[in-house]
């Protein structure tokens, strides 16, 4: 309250860039430590991790499909429905070192950068709701969560999908802005093409946006559907069924929800 009895004007919310600058040296030190830590984990994985150096199961599927997409091998699955999400092998097909020489560093660097983006987003999302100390704590806990860094060393789309989904949450803070709505549709569509389970998130997000701004919900849905349409048409032509992304999404969700947790990573 001002001295003349009038209410003081409301303080405008900080922009994302201003919140990052507000993090100052502690946030910069945390991100630097995170980068060094992830580099050490990557170096250890590249040296002696058999699951990385000898891809099996889903990782092997992705590498073989990527080689086919790059024209290095015949692709026997080219005219079949997608069993696993199609975006990750398309991404891998651009890493010549991986496909021709078995060099995994380029892919892992990209995924570790996505992991640092997740830490930054954790700070931004927390900073909008609490003070600087609470936001730094949230970022630190995110960095300390081992499975995030672990999956950054796998030839799987999980880590990139996590970064994209959290980007959607960040953009959803201001859905009334059309660029944010388009960005949400883009990130959400890419996340679904990496992990079809993100479609469940889309089913919850779009009605929420619709209640706040119909035009933004329509723009987000249009971009999402445009990204999903090619895979849906491919699956329809190849298998005769309407499968938006891949046919493994349902079984993975079922196993995750009903299977006994082992506490281990298996292939």
Span 51-64, pLDDT tens digits: 888 888 899 999 99
Same domain, 22 and 106: yes
pTM: 0.86
Burial class of residue 128 (count of CB atoms within 10 Å of its CB; 0-12, 13-18, 19+): middle
CA 177 → CA 61, 171, 234, distances in Å? 39, 9, 33
Final residue belonging to a domain, choices 156, 184, 202: 156
Same domain, 224 and 123: no
Please tell me the predicted confidence (pLDDT) of residue 46.
92
Same domain, 139 and 30: yes
Same domain, 22 and 88: yes
Give the lowest-confidence range in 30-44, 68-82, 146-160: 68-82
Same domain, 121 and 67: yes
| Number of domains within the chain | 2
Same domain, 31 and 81: yes
Same domain, 35 and 110: yes
- At residue 88 the predicted structure's pLDDT band, cuts being 50, 70 and 90, is very high
Handedness of CA 12, 14, 18, 23 (dihedral sign): positive
Please tell me the predicted confidence (pLDDT) of residue 73.
85
Same domain, 137 and 27: yes
pLDDT cut 70: percent of the chain above it: 88
Same domain, 78 and 115: yes
Same domain, 230 and 106: no
> Crossing angle of helices 132-144/105-127, nearest 10°?
150
The answer to whether position 41 is within a domain reads yes
What range does the domain containing 108 cover? 17-156
């Amino acid at each position: 309250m001002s001295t003349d009895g009038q209410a003081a004007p409301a303080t405008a919310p900080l922009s994302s860039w201003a919140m990052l600058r507000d993090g100052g040296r502690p946030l910069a030190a945390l991100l630097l430590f995170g980068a060094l830590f992830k580099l050490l984990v990557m170096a250890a994985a590249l040296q002696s991790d058999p699951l990385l150096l000898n891809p099996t199961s889903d990782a092997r599927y992705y590498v073989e499909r990527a080689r086919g997409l790059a024209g290095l091998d015949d692709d026997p699955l080219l005219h079949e429905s997608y069993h696993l999400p199609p975006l990750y092998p398309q991404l891998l097909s651009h890493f010549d070192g991986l496909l021709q020489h078995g060099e995994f560093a380029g892919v892992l660097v990209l995924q570790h950068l996505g992991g640092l983006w997740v830490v930054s987003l954790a700070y931004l999302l927390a900073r909008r709701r609490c003070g600087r100390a609470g936001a730094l704590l949230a970022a630190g806990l995110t960095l300390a969560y081992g499975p995030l860094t672990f999956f950054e060393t796998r030839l799987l789309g999980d880590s990139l999908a996590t970064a994209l989904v959290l980007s959607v949450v960040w953009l959803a803070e201001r859905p009334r802005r059309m660029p944010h709505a388009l960005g949400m549709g883009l990130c959400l569509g890419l996340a679904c093409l990496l992990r079809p389970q993100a479609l469940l998130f889309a089913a919850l997000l779009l009605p929420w946006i619709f209640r706040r701004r119909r035009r933004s919900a329509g723009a987000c849905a249009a971009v999402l559907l445009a990204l999903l349409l090619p895979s849906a048409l491919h699956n329809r032509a190849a298998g005769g069924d309407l499968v938006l992304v891949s046919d493994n999404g349902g079984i993975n969700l079922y196993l995750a929800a009903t299977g006994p947790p082992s506490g281990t990573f298996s292939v």
